[in-house]
Structure 1
């Protein structure tokens, strides 16, 4: 199936590593021009080299998106380079463990800026350009908004916000024919996930326990699988899909895990 993404300019925040990198590589393989927005230039350039080695086209913007002003700078840089934006993938963020009992106002608000506020800011500045191209937005979200996790109030709240904004923007942008959807992630092994699991006692045992609870195949979702769904949602092939929260999670959230 031709996803009709060739030469489309798509921004991927946090596109230099983990889930964002997986998304960026899939989009590049589909012929899109991928604009990576991430805070670390060395990681940006490394992923950019992989994109170009695979025959794709890429661009990178160094931005600390927890700074509200960085979103406008990032969008402006992409438009200055290509003159257009056809898609936005809001992905950057991390489960930073700011809980109810171990947090405070400052930590909570910092986490909201790290995980939610820039979703709004990136979309706010990208929308005038997406109106011109009738582009699409995909927000990456997490199961924590549905299931809770414990000890991560700010991240769970951010993901609840991501889900709500997905549906709110889908309504607001209907008249512009801009579709907005979310991909909800449960368990995906990334460098950030690796760093977290290594902080636990008996990490290998814990990892085995986690994967045993994923109904489909008792394995984690790959970044490529997430990227494939994102590419479909960005594509005009999914032209009548908007306001949806798509769970790419091997059935983790909605299936009875006892069946596995």
Structure 2
């Protein structure tokens, strides 16, 4: 299926690794133009796949000025923005007992503020293109996890903002949706697994709890749904929370 993403300029935060990298590569395959906002050097390697038809902005979105700069650089180079994928973030394990009010506030800001910032500065250009926004959240916002209050608070807020922005941006025909992964093998996930005495055993335990196929979701499977939501093929879909998780969140794991 041609998703009609050819020459569409899409901002992707955290677009150089894991889920973000899969989205960037998938967009390139569709003929789109990724703007990879990520300090990792892997962003340059991904652009080689597009023969340079894209942009790597090697910054971390820590302050509103960073998001503003990313938008300005994009407009300077391409003149338009057709979509945003808010993806960057990390489960930093700031909980009730193992954290502090200061650490909680920092965790929420680190995982949430740049979602708002990037959209805020892009809205004037999304109005012109009638673009699409996709927020990457997490099943932890629905199920809880324990020991990670900051990250979960941010992920829950992302889901709330998805519907808030879908309402606010209706007059401009800008669509806003969220994708909710559960267990996806990314570099950060591999790092977490390596903290266990027997990583392979832990991986098998987790995989056995995923109803569909007893396997983890691939980054490419997340990317396929994101690209569909960015495209005109989903032109009447907005305000939705879409789970790409092999049934992990809602199906009986005894299956």
TM over 0.5: yes
Evaluate the alpha carbon distance shift between residue 69 and residue 56 of structure 1 in structure 2; reply closer, same or farther with a 3 A threshold: closer
- Classify the secondary structure of the residue corresponding to 1:129: helix
| Equivalent residues of 1:98, 1:152 under 8 A apart | yes
1:24 equivalent in structure 2? 24
Out of 102-111 and 239-248, give the one that drifted further: 102-111
2:47 equivalent in structure 1? 48
Which aligned pairs between 1:66-81 and structure 2 lie closer than 5 A?
66-81=62-77
| Equivalent residues of 1:17, 1:47 under 8 A apart | no
Query: In the alignment, is residue 154 of structure 1 matched against residue 150 of structure 2?
Result: yes
1:196 equivalent in structure 2? 192
Work out the number of aligned pairs and report it. Answer: 255
Deviations 1:39-61 (A, max 9, x none): 23x22212222x32xx6832111
- For 1:150 and 1:17, how far apart are their aligned partners in 2? 26
Deviations 1:6-54 (A, max 9, x none): 00000110000000001111111011000000123x22212222x32xx
| Equivalent residues of 1:138, 1:234 under 8 A apart | yes
Correspondence for 2:102 among 99, 106, 116: 106
User: How far apart are 1:106 and its partner, in Å?
Assistant: 2.4
User: How far apart are 1:222 and its partner, in Å?
Assistant: 0.7
| Equivalent residues of 1:29, 1:56 under 8 A apart | no
2:11 equivalent in structure 1? 11
1:231 equivalent in structure 2? 227
> Which structure 1 residue ranges, 5 or more long, are not aligned?
none
User: How far apart are 1:160 and its partner, in Å?
Assistant: 0.2
RMSD: 1.1
1:165 equivalent in structure 2? 161
1:210 equivalent in structure 2? 206
TM-score of the aligned structures, taking structure 2 as reference length: 0.97
- For 2:106 and 2:26, how far apart are their aligned partners in 1? 31
TM-score of the aligned structures, taking structure 1 as reference length: 0.96
| Equivalent residues of 1:13, 1:36 under 8 A apart | yes
Deviations 1:139-191 (A, max 9, x none): 00100000001111111101000000000000000000000000001000011
Out of 57-66 and 144-153, give the one that drifted further: 57-66
- For 1:115 and 1:128, how far apart are their aligned partners in 2? 24
> Which structure 2 residue ranges, 5 or more long, are not aligned?
none
